[in-house]
Amino acid sequence: MKKKDTLSETMNALRDKGYIDDLNLLDDKIENRSKNKKYPINEFKVDEYFRFEGMANPADNSILYAIKTSDGHKGMLVDGYGKSGGQVSQEMMNKLKIK
């Protein structure tokens, strides 16, 4: 999928493709609170990711991941990158291609 101009437009396009779950990033897994499930690194894959840079403030940098879990759920994970990025394990950084 081609990245849209904004984070919200890209999220809407991903919802249209079935990525409806809201995912959270933990140290070495992702969490789907609505389904009360946690997925270790080997139980999900990143289908696509999109970087967005804040126009006025570098702290507004974010990255959107389209993720599919091993049990077939599709969701989105939004996280900051650069100085605002969260603290995660090296293995998770490699999985999410955080540079």
Q: Which residue has the tokens 């696509």?
A: 48
Answer whether 52's CB lies under 8 Å from 62's CB.
yes
H-helix segments, the chain: 7-16, 90-95
Could you report the per-residue pLDDT of 4-33, keeping only the tens digit for each?
A: 788 999 999 999 999 999 999 988 899 999
pLDDT of residue 83: 47
The residue ranking higher by pLDDT, 55 or 83, is 55
pLDDT value for 84: 46
* pLDDT at residue number 31: 96
pLDDT tens per residue, range 68-92: 999 999 999 998 765 445 567 778 8
